[in-house]
Amino acid sequence: MKRFENVKCYYTGGGVYVYSALYNGEVWLYGGLDWYFGSYSIPGEEIEAEHDNDYDTYWKVPSIPYPTWNEILQSILDAYPEDDHPEVVYMERQILDANPDMNARCIGPDDTHDYPPDDPSSDRIRLETVSAFLDVFNDYLESKGYDTDDTYTLSDEIETLLYKFGTLKGE
């Protein structure tokens, strides 16, 4: 049996890619690449679409430790060969930017059901801010009939400007 089956990773807007996979044949991992995952008895998409977002009812802990971010990234690379899926670059960058310790497990602290507090890290704030600007830019270009598949390469330039003008602090 493969550790990761039915791997899906897709863009939902706001700079967020959502990951879904059957892990160890027993739980469905689900969540944004920029945050921790949940593990459920049915796919997270199904919980959202058919069960009124009632995640607690379907929470299920795997019998083996949760995978690391390195393992999640490898499962994406295996499922989406870069030659056929250039968007993998953005998925990989989101994981690396949001998870500096790639050997950390993809679940909240202590492998519990409790998620981290709603006090987002500076990395998360940076990602959300840059993503919000990119979304506005993409929406405008799309309304004018332009293809926006490659506009996310502008993120570094937007981030530099946001630091320069004090919207983002640090760096």
State the pLDDT at residue 29: 96
Tell me how far apart the alpha carbons of residues 141 and 134 are, in angstroms, rounded to a whole number: 11
pLDDT above 50 (res 113): no
State the pLDDT at residue 153: 63
State the pLDDT at residue 112: 47
pLDDT in tens, 43-64: 999 998 999 888 889 999 888 8
Residues 101-112: what's their mean pLDDT?
71
Using an 8 Å Cβ cutoff, are 5 and 29 in contact? no
